[in-house]
Structure 1
């Protein structure tokens, strides 16, 4: 393929994928290898305004510095602005528990995002070609993947574009040869202890020799999978709109009945919640879990109710118990402790958010606020016997998330108050009494 034919082929692909407009500035990831050099030369042939970005990860000793010197000379010759950054991959990898490959990728794209802003570029162009995409397909399949992995790399994904995805490795090398353009070679590409290198150097050449059109057929397959994935995402988005219920800020609620309309409801839930850190096994288990069950990700809590599931931030109030000293006051803004001097009148309390306790409660050895536990019982004021706190929740129609947020006041093993719901008859205050304690629960301060 002649250089002009290569440029026409790639230009048509760029136009078809609407990667960028003629007036855009394009950030070019430039390693100095054949692929990235071919990408830069192609973009310049189309009169695209380019800014080159080179990462020096210092993982290959002098070879890393050689690459930096090469791209410096190349950009000077071509009149292209060059940005260079040096990275401490070892420290970043250790701090974030990543492999070298993943650490380099994270550092690279984080820096690219900065450069897009500072250099006023619309997109970053990376030099993956068709053969890279086939390698990625096999890597993902061998490691285990879903539709996204089998669809291969996207030509356009957010602000990342891949103009050479329509070209083969052979076409890229031929293009550089036609131009008489030099490039550098990464010596680690020949080391077959890396899985990708074994695929590239050992497995795929055999596949291509036995099935000469294998790469072309695999590319067609990835295109069809990508189409299926797009349809799948449309369905997921539609079901998300159908199942989601309006709630208060910070809480996400989905109707279990709507989710269960789908045969693969666990998979649907996983697609809805994967961004919050929930895994597939958790999402499958939700539909067999009992009411009140809780599933946790690194940042979110999922509560299973009778009709809904709710997702919210993990409770920032980490204490399971808070000790109460009535004489010292209470160290939380959402519970006020008062010691009125006026004789008690029932009009001072409502039995739900405001209660009164007789002076005798101060003699209790252990008074705590704690979270509700299954089996907790309350002896409600004005009633004989006791009642399960969970029955109070049912009466109040609390969601699973609301139940987990409820505090109980306990004194020497007796539940005196379910905050915001009901007070017990223990330590009740007679009209006209003095020395009592008045407690106010301020929901708005929670």
Structure 2
């Protein structure tokens, strides 16, 4: 947490300098760069992960403009990167600077205590509900969609005994023999591919988020390929056979190797969690995502949204934490009856930014510093304009009533 991202002149992103918290939210009109910023964050977090695991030397990514041609291409951001693009990302272990079409990486020499499981949940996620076995179709989508599809397959196995959706008393069941996903309601059963659009978009997101957060909570080891296992075993043997190291040093070095191959946090980056959902269902889905995020200390949740309901729901979660912090035991019970503690967001754990191509300031925080809440004016930026139009039309309509 507290990762810093600076961007200038990259596609729709004009200029910003932001800090990521445990929960980070982006809101704004279409085409303002919300997803672009989220994808950049995902790219650098992944890059930091593989470098901390020593899977690549720093020079590999610094050469041949691989930042653009390999890393940005995964999220299809490569066409946004120009000779004027400037990006700095300061993570936990490394500092990355992209300037004049060259990436420079600085190692902060921080101790690695585990690695992140990173999931980018794209807006195109509904396709995995309706095209579960259509590999060719998935390959036409960005790399993040194919990766998400693979994780959805894993989530089905994880929840092989069934999964309860966070809204409308709906359940999921997977028939592995026939490769069919089923959705069951109180009095009906339908294939996932034939279910409502809100179910198709939210089910994969919720299942993948919960399965990965549980995996991280259990401190599961990273699955290594045979080549990676052989490399790890060779490194352990080198340490154990080196007489220059004391036993305590050997234990420490092997412990570091173990930490570098074990998940210790889940970085969940979700585009538009509200897709195709009624407001009440939006709330239940957000509660699920935030609760999963709270399950491990180092977890992070990054959201992009167009929905004012998302802002209002997040505000309720901030208020829940504020109220709970000062409450006595009886009041705490009352607060938890309204909103579970797992869904509370402390003020210091939230960052929220509005991106706008039409305003003088492209990127601004919408957290009111005094109240610690999302500013009222940003809860529903369209409402005032809609009501102004309605009132003007009603005044004209009222004049016709006497005719």
User: Which TM class, normalised by the smaller chain length?
Assistant: under 0.3
Which is greater in Rg? 1
